[in-house]
Amino acid sequence: MREMRDTVQAEVTMTFLVSQDLSFRIPVELSYDSGDPYAVEITFHLPGDAPVSWAFARELLLDGLSKPTGEGDVRIAPASPEGLSDVFIRLQVGCERALFRAGAAPLVAFLDRTDRVVPFGQEPAACDPVGDLDAELHRILAEDRYAG
């Protein structure tokens, strides 16, 4: 039985806010794999360092476009309370923090593409091996019935 997996990838530019006086733009890769339908991964390409990847809930990214969301290591919030604007993404490990600012439009486009692969709310069906097995057995039995 072959496993059907779809992926969505996008490249965006985000602003790394080092301090109030220092910031710079960096390339960032967004990725989504239907094999793990609840998560998105963001890979930051910081100058002079190896790429750093973070995986967190796809719904967290969606919710963070319109309201402050997240607890602990990942927090996402709109930069402005009015309309769809930029988004702040704060990542934390221990006492180390990193703050990024991203345009909402490329994030919305990315999430829309992930929604076409696995619609929001349909994640359980996407990772239900029993459902996949039932469908595959039905297909095999149907082929067997018409083959002979």
* 136 assigned to some structural domain: yes
- For residue range 24-83, what is the model confidence (pLDDT) as tens digits? 999 999 999 998 899 999 999 988 888 999 999 999 999 999 999 998 899 999 998 776
One-character DSSP codes across 62-107: HHHTTS-B--TTEEEEESSSSSS--EEEEEEETTEEEEEEE-HHHH
DSSP 19: S
* 62 assigned to some structural domain: yes
The single residue listed with the structure tokens 């930029």 is 86
Its domain, for residue 65, covers 5-142
pLDDT above 50 for 1: no
Structurally, how many domains does the chain consist of? 1
* 124 assigned to some structural domain: yes
* 48 assigned to some structural domain: yes
Closest CA to 14 of 82, 92, 93, 103: 103
Between CA 33 and CA 139 the distance in angstroms is 25
- Three-class DSSP category at 1: coil
**What CATH number is attached to the domain comprising 121?**
2.30.31.20
Whole-structure pTM over 0.85, yes or no? no
13-19: long-range pairs with CB below 8 Å, 24+: 14/44, 14/89, 14/100, 14/101, 14/102, 15/100, 15/101, 15/102, 16/44, 16/46, 16/98, 16/99, 16/100, 17/99, 17/100, 17/101
- For residue range 121-145, what is the model confidence (pLDDT) as tens digits? 877 777 655 555 666 666 677 766 6
Mean pLDDT confidence for 6-25: 94
Do 72 and 57 contact (CB within 8 A), yes or no?
A: no
DSSP 21: S
146: pLDDT confidence band, cut at 50, 70 and 90? low
Residues 6+ apart with CB under 8 A from 19: none
Q: According to the model, what pLDDT value does residue 131 have?
A: 54
* 148 assigned to some structural domain: no
* 113 assigned to some structural domain: yes
* 53 assigned to some structural domain: yes
Between CA 71 and CA 8 the distance in angstroms is 26
Do 90 and 68 contact (CB within 8 A), yes or no?
A: no
* 35 assigned to some structural domain: yes
Mean pLDDT confidence for 94-114: 93
